[in-house]
Structure 1
């Protein structure tokens, strides 16, 4: 469990710098150079992500059950996951979806985390998905008070929403049928 906690602290900590210390972040990027800052940020994020994957895998081997969710919540989770891939793609494909949602990646993260909290009741699940949910809420609140840096992505286009919806639903179908079992080892339905 300690690797999971360390990974979450590192990954979410790096991703929280703009929330808690935007001025410090900008000063470091100016001092080191934007590319060097992004390189360090990326390496720390990857290290945190690797620790999360390893730690969560270890925690699943000896789960500490906090609650047993009703089976029906798996279906609710599957429904909540339906727009997640669409929103993830819409974050990088500017169109009406992105304009309406404002921060589609954060909404996707909140839906993903909530869905998994509903369907899973182990301590590791609470730490992982609860941590990401808390971070996404804090990040969204902080975005109302700070200047947004542009997200890299495709230029605005009239087919971006259609691409996001079709490709997102295809990814959802792929993930729910074979991808989740292949990557995580658990069939979601």
Structure 2
């Protein structure tokens, strides 16, 4: 469990920096340049992610069961994940009404992903991992909205076809992920 927690500390230290120290990013960019900042951020984040994956794998070998979720929650989580994939697609595609309404659809996607996984996973390591991502996404969303208000940022709605593209892409990736990739990448087969 210590490797998992160490990885999370490393990973979230970069991601929480902007929440707790809003000027840190700009100061490091001034000091190291944009590419230096991106390199440092990426190396720390990837090292943390690697430790999270390693630590989570080890923690799953000796599970501490906190609760046993009801089987029906699998379907609820699958539905949550459909929306998470659609919102994630909307975050990286040209703006539509989804992006304009949600403002930060990637962070909403992470919140939905974390909640969905908290519903269906009852081991301590899983609850710590998904709970930490949920806390980070909530705090990052609040900080991002605060920055938006301070900057007077407005998210203009693009054409509805961009939403349709996000829905099609998100649904397609969700289908492939739950059918094939989840078991292959994560090692956990889903109910299909």
Q: In the aligned structure 1, how far is the partner of 2:63 from the partner of 2:115?
A: 20
Residue deviations 1:108-140 (CA, integer Å, cap 9, x gap):
000000000000000111111000000001111
Whole-angstrom CA distance in 1 between matches of 2:133 and 2:183 = 21
Answer with 139-148 or 74-83: which moved more. Answer: 139-148
Q: State the 1:178 CA deviation.
A: 1.1
- Equivalenced residue count is 183
Shift of 1:158: 6.1
The answer for the alignment partner of 1:145 in structure 2 is: 146
Question: Is this contact kept in 1: 2:97–2:159, CA < 8 A?
Answer: no
Gaps of 5+ in 1: 150-155
- Structure 2: how far apart are the matches of 1:159 and 1:80? 23
Which residue of structure 1 aligns with residue 175 of structure 2? 173
**Other-structure match for 1:102:** 103
Work out the CA distance in 2 between the residues paired with 1:122 and 1:65.
Answer: 4
Q: How far, CA to CA, are the matches of 1:137 and 1:6 in structure 2?
A: 21
How far has the Cα of 1:157 moved from its partner?
6.6
Which residue of 2 is the match for residue 124 of structure 1? 125
Distance 2:85 2:75 in 1: 17
Superposed CA offset, 1:10-56 (max 9, x none): 11111111100011221111111111101110111111111111111
What's the TM-score once normalised by structure 1's chain length? 0.92
Q: Check if 1:136 corresponds to 2:125.
A: no
Runs of 4+ in 1 over 6 A off after TM superposition: none
Structure with more of its chain in helix, by fraction: 2
Segments of 5+ residues of structure 2 without an aligned counterpart are 152-157
Secondary structure of the corresponding residue to residue 146 of structure 1: helix
CA RMSD of aligned residues (A): 1.6
| C-alpha distance in structure 2 between counterparts of 1:67 and 1:37, whole Å | 42
In the TM superposition, residue 180 of structure 1 has moved relative to its aligned partner by: 0.6
Does the residue aligned with 2:56 lie in a helix, a strand or coil?
helix
